Amino acid sequence: AHGPVQLALDRGDGSVHALRGAAFAGVQFHPESVLSEDGLTVLRELLTELLASAGASADRAGETSLGTAAASGGGAGPGLDE
């Protein structure tokens, strides 16, 4: 239901260390920890992709709302004037 999922597996025992889909991501460690090598880079990349995905979803939802409102004569649509 969520589309393709990418997994990061441990080559030694096959355990899952991270997973990512179109609108979610999860890791099995604390990337923000000072002891995580390249943790902040990992966290930045995951968040950048998730925020871009969320923005694209919001843009598509806005286009749908605007199209529906314009077709029904409703103006700019709810929430756009706030």
Q: Can you tell me the mean pLDDT for 61-80?
A: 44
Q: What is the dihedral sign for C-alpha 32, 34, 39, 40? A: positive
Q: Express as a percent the part of the chain with pLDDT over 90.
A: 18
- Cα–chain-centroid distance for residue 5? 13
More confident position, 63 or 43: 43
Residue 36: predicted pLDDT:
84
pTM: 0.54
Ranges of each domain in the chain: 6-65
Look up tokens 């899952």; give the residue: 16
More confident position, 78 or 60: 60
Angle at 48 between CA 60 and CA 44, to 5 degrees: 165
46 class by beta-carbon count within 10 Å (0-12 exposed, 13-18 middle, 19+ buried): middle
Q: Which amino acid, one-letter code, is at 22?
A: A
Q: Can you tell me the mean pLDDT for 52-81?
A: 53
pLDDT in tens, 28-60: 888 888 888 888 898 898 889 888 888 777 776
Asked if residues 63 and 56 have their Cβ atoms less than 8 Å apart, the reply is: no
